[in-house]
């Protein structure tokens, strides 16, 4: 054992990147969340070679000031929270100020942005953080484009863990699906190797919502699910609940959002399982796309770097509300659609 030394910042960033950037899909998740946090109404995603070669996310959100462009790439730099109290009620998808720093330390990244106050935009380019970022003028309408190329080009050990193009793209598409289901007022487009895979128009009317869910989750789900929308004591649950007859052998069509953030949570899973327990056979899983809305102060999202987990301050209350709402909805299903009887 030799002396204890502080890691240089480049190495520290690469190590920290491991928590945030596991594969191309994790890059896409962070970039899409940033675009939504910036208030984008249209987000365009272009991907090449399963995202390992290129991921480009363009939005029409609020943009980044010229002087702040290099800062956006620094670790622990965020515009979303300022003081410790802000952690008590987080209203944005990001807040850790880690993503762009992490991604830029393991890829070649460019960030082009325009806040809309000037005619042109500005661009900053970094390659694995070897150089100090320089800012140059670049044509760009209001909004931001982040272009990530050659993921893990400088970390061969990580690169070896990447799977085939198809597998990586499947993960990317799943991230896209989750996020596109979270914000109906924003239009999304995804293309892979120059071919458009999903084109989802914006607009928050019922027909567009149904069309989007059918496009992303399949029309069979849409046909065999029921809409729910119930509010009680400051909690609101809405979305679509798969009929028991639409149960699945895997828990692969389960989307649960808390204030617009897709999450996995034991309290939620337990409430759902209980609600379906009378009508599903052992080993079968329900399908659902559900949105829970509640006061952000009642949920802690600062549990894990990927922010997939949350902690409810009033677990019991949330559990009982979910269970009661779902149980009631299932009880109203007509008998023919109720029991998941194998044909």
List of residues contacting ligand ADP (CB under 6 A): 30, 34-35, 38, 59, 61-64, 72, 77-80, 94-101, 144
Nearer to ligand ADP by Cβ, of 21 and 216: the residue is: 21
Is 34 a binder of Mg ion (CB under 5 A)?
A: yes
Please count the CA atoms within 13 angstroms of the CA of 286 that sit on its side-chain side: 30
> Choosing among Mg ion, ligand ADP, none, which partner's interface includes residue 162 (Cβ < 5 to 8 Å by kind)?
none
Nearer to ligand ADP by Cβ, of 77 and 303: the residue is: 77
Closest CB 59 distance from ligand ADP, rounded Å: 5
Is 99 a binder of Mg ion (CB under 5 A)?
A: yes
> Choosing among Mg ion, ligand ADP, none, which partner's interface includes residue 151 (Cβ < 5 to 8 Å by kind)?
none
> Choosing among ligand ADP, Mg ion, none, which partner's interface includes residue 79 (Cβ < 5 to 8 Å by kind)?
ligand ADP
Sheet bearing 121-127, strands edge to edge: 134-138, 121-127, 108-114, 143-149, 54-59, 42-48, 187-192, 195-200
Site string for Mg ion, 77-96 (x = CB under 5 A): -----------------x--
State which residue has the least CB distance to Mg ion: 94
The size of the chain, in residues, is 343
Asked whether 312 and 297 are in contact (CB, 8 A), the reply is no
Which regions of the chain does DSSP assign to beta strands (E)? 42-48, 54-59, 108-114, 121-127, 134-138, 143-149, 187-192, 195-200, 225-232, 235-242, 254-258, 261-262, 288-293, 299-300, 311-312
Sheet bearing 288-293, strands edge to edge: 225-232, 235-242, 288-293, 254-258, 261-262
> Choosing among ligand ADP, Mg ion, none, which partner's interface includes residue 38 (Cβ < 5 to 8 Å by kind)?
ligand ADP
Q: Output phi, psi for 149, to 5 deg.
A: -120, 150
- Rounded to whole angstroms, how far apart are CA atoms 203 and 252? 27
State which residue has the least CB distance to ligand ADP: 94
Nearer to ligand ADP by Cβ, of 38 and 318: the residue is: 38
Size of the site for Mg ion (CB under 5 A): 3
> Choosing among ligand ADP, Mg ion, none, which partner's interface includes residue 21 (Cβ < 5 to 8 Å by kind)?
none
Nearest to 46 by CA among 144, 177, 192: 192
Q: Footprint of Mg ion on this chain (CB under 5 A)?
A: 34, 94, 99
């Amino acid at each position: 054992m030799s002396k204890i030394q502080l890691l240089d910042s480049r190495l520290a960033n690469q190590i920290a990147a491991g928590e945030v950037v596991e594969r191309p899909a994790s890059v896409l998740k962070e970039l899409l969340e940033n675009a939504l946090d910036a208030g984008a109404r249209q987000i365009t995603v272009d991907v090449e070679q399963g995202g390992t070669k290129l991921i480009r996310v363009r939005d029409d959100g609020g943009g980044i000031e010229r002087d702040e462009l290099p800062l956006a790439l620094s670790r622990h730099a965020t515009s979303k929270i300022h003081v410790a109290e802000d952690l008590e009620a987080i209203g944005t998808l990001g807040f850790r100020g880690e993503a762009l720093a992490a991604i830029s330390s393991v890829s070649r990244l460019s960030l082009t942005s325009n806040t809309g106050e000037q005619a042109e935009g500005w661009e900053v380019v970094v390659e694995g953080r070897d150089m100090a970022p320089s800012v140059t003028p670049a044509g760009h309408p209001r909004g931001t484009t982040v272009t990530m190329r050659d993921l893990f080009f400088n970390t061969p050990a990580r690169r070896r863990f990447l799977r085939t193009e198809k597998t990586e793209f499947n993960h990317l598409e799943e991230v896209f699906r989750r996020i596109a289901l979270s914000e109906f007022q924003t239009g999304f487009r995804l293309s892979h190797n120059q071919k458009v895979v999903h084109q989802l128009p914006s607009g928050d009317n019922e027909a567009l919502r149904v069309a989007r869910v059918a496009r992303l989750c399949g029309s069979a789900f849409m046909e065999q699910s029921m809409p729910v929308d119930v509010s009680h004591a400051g909690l609101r649950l809405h979305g679509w609940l798969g009929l028991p007859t639409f149960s699945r052998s895997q828990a692969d069509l389960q989307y649960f959002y808390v204030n617009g953030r897709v999450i996995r949570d034991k309290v939620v899973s337990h409430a759902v399982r209980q609600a379906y327990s009378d009508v599903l056979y052992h080993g079968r899983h329900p399908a659902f796309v559900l949105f829970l809305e509640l006061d952000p102060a009642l949920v802690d999202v600062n549990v894990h770097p990927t922010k997939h987990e949350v902690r409810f301050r009033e677990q019991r209350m949330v559990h009982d509300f979910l269970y009661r709402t779902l149980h009631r909805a299932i009880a109203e299903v007509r008998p023919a659609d109720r029991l998941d009887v194998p044909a």
